[in-house]
Amino acid sequence: MTVTEKKLIGVDLGGTTIKFAILTADGDIQQKWSMETNVLADGQMIIPDIIDSIKHHLKMYEMKADQFDGIGLGSPGTINFKEGTIKGAYNLNWTDSVYPVRDIEEGTGIPVTIENDANVAALGERWKGAGNNADDVVFVTLGTGVGGGIIAGGNLLHGANGAAGEIGHITVDPHGFLCTCGKRGCLETIASATGIVHVARDRAGEYAGDSELKAMLDDGQDISAKDVFDLAKKNDDLALIVADYVCDSLGFALANIANSLNPKYVVIGGGVSAAGDFLLDKVNKAMRVNEFATIKDSTELRLASLGNGAGVIGAASLIKMK
Ligand SMILES: [Zn+2]
């Protein structure tokens, strides 16, 4: 006789798309779909849209609420776990508190768990991606900003006020660029996609050698973080200077996280991580220089493996962690 385990639903709510997946208890995706996020009218349609979409798909797949252990939802904004509310998700136009736990439970008849979006991506990579389901995993995502999530001893860290894992605001240069958070030299001002471009422009000003990147900037062209890494791979002198500085800064910050948490894996994801092994090798070298022996021997740096599918998987894993 086979025991049928209940299934999970993962929802990854973003500023432009809402991704959904139905997963087995082991985290294998069975169905997935997505819809546009309707941020009009203060984002009032978002929660009703999520409810309708789940109900519509369950009907389509001939499934019922009692076949599910729960719905996990990853969302931008500040989560109040006690109240089940989210506020300050400005890219969704949510300024006041919204009640996804109450409303989605009422609408679907399935229990709901919520978590912030950077943390669900960390949980996804930990469960089914590069984190290899280890108990101690640090995840850093390099996108428009730098985000992160820390799993220690099998638990996701929230901290006293929900800000644990905000790796982007680790200070790596106290006299560096001004960050959106108000202080200087945060990792985000250097290693995010926008930070990398900022570093390139800054270094180009004082650079006098022969470089295609320098020529592009002098020509007034828009450059991206990808351009910097693509040119660095081709040994462009200025691009290499920028890439080395970015990777040294990232390796320095990650080494200090590793020195205090001794994770099994440190996982790098987000758009910038598409630079692949070139980035990984440079960051790894910088990390090793700044780690003490026990950490060097037991903490491994890896590239994320799930891409933008990490969110729905991590959201679903919230139900297993309850
Ligand atoms: Zn900052």
Span 220-250, pLDDT tens digits: 999 999 999 999 999 999 999 999 999 999 9
| Longest CA pairwise span in the chain (Å) | 74
Tell how far the Cα of 25 is from the centroid of ligand 1, in angstroms: 38
Identify which of 151, 143, 181, 186 has the alpha carbon closest to the alpha carbon of residue 168: 186
> Residue 89's pLDDT is what?
86
What's the mean per-residue pLDDT of the chain?
95
Tell how far the Cα of 145 is from the centroid of ligand 1, in angstroms: 10
Q: Can you name the residues that pair with 11 across neighbouring β-strands?
A: 20, 73
Q: CB-side exposure of 306: number of CA atoms within 13 Å?
A: 26
Quick one: CA dihedral 287, 288, 292, 298, positive or negative? positive
The DSSP line for 234-292 is: TT-HHHHHHHHHHHHHHHHHHHHHHHHH--SEEEEESGGGGGHHHHHHHHHHHHHHTS-
Tell how far the Cα of 250 is from the centroid of ligand 1, in angstroms: 14
263-315 confidence digits (pLDDT tens)? 999 999 999 999 999 999 999 999 999 999 999 999 999 999 998 899 999 99
Taking residue 210's Cβ as centre, other Cβ atoms within 10 Å add up to 10
Tell how far the Cα of 129 is from the centroid of ligand 1, in angstroms: 28
Helix axes 100-108, 46-60, angle to 10 degrees: 30
Tell how far the Cα of 35 is from the centroid of ligand 1, in angstroms: 32
Interatomic CA distance for residues 222 and 218, integer angstroms = 10
Tell how far the Cα of 233 is from the centroid of ligand 1, in angstroms: 29
Tell how far the Cα of 190 is from the centroid of ligand 1, in angstroms: 10
Under DSSP, the state recorded for 108 is H
Tell how far the Cα of 160 is from the centroid of ligand 1, in angstroms: 18
Tell how far the Cα of 68 is from the centroid of ligand 1, in angstroms: 40
Tell how far the Cα of 163 is from the centroid of ligand 1, in angstroms: 12
Tell how far the Cα of 146 is from the centroid of ligand 1, in angstroms: 9
pTM, entire model: 0.92
What ranges make up the beta strands (E) of 109-164? 112-116, 137-142, 146-152, 155-156
> Residue 163's pLDDT is what?
87
> Cα–Cα distances in Å, from 21 out to 9, 69, 86, 313?
6, 14, 21, 8
Tell how far the Cα of 187 is from the centroid of ligand 1, in angstroms: 7
The fraction of the chain above a pLDDT of 70, given in percent, is: 98
Question: What are the φ/ψ torsions at residue 49 (nearest 5 degrees)?
Answer: -60, -40
Q: Which residues contact 173 (CB under 8 A, 6 or more apart)?
A: 184, 185, 190, 249
61-78 confidence digits (pLDDT tens)? 999 999 999 999 999 988
Tell how far the Cα of 166 is from the centroid of ligand 1, in angstroms: 9
Tell how far the Cα of 294 is from the centroid of ligand 1, in angstroms: 30
Tell how far the Cα of 192 is from the centroid of ligand 1, in angstroms: 11
Tell how far the Cα of 64 is from the centroid of ligand 1, in angstroms: 45
166-193 confidence digits (pLDDT tens)? 999 999 999 999 999 999 999 999 999 9
36-54 confidence digits (pLDDT tens)? 999 999 999 999 999 999 9
- Residue 84 identity: G
Question: What are the φ/ψ torsions at residue 314 (nearest 5 degrees)?
Answer: -65, -40
How big is the CA angle at 35 (ends 31 and 41), to the nearest 5 degrees? 150
> Residue 1's pLDDT is what?
45
Identify which of 137, 248, 259 has the alpha carbon closest to the alpha carbon of residue 191: 248
Tell how far the Cα of 170 is from the centroid of ligand 1, in angstroms: 7
85-137 confidence digits (pLDDT tens)? 998 888 899 988 899 999 999 999 999 999 999 999 999 999 999 999 999 99
Tell how far the Cα of 142 is from the centroid of ligand 1, in angstroms: 14
> Residue 2's pLDDT is what?
52
Tell how far the Cα of 171 is from the centroid of ligand 1, in angstroms: 8
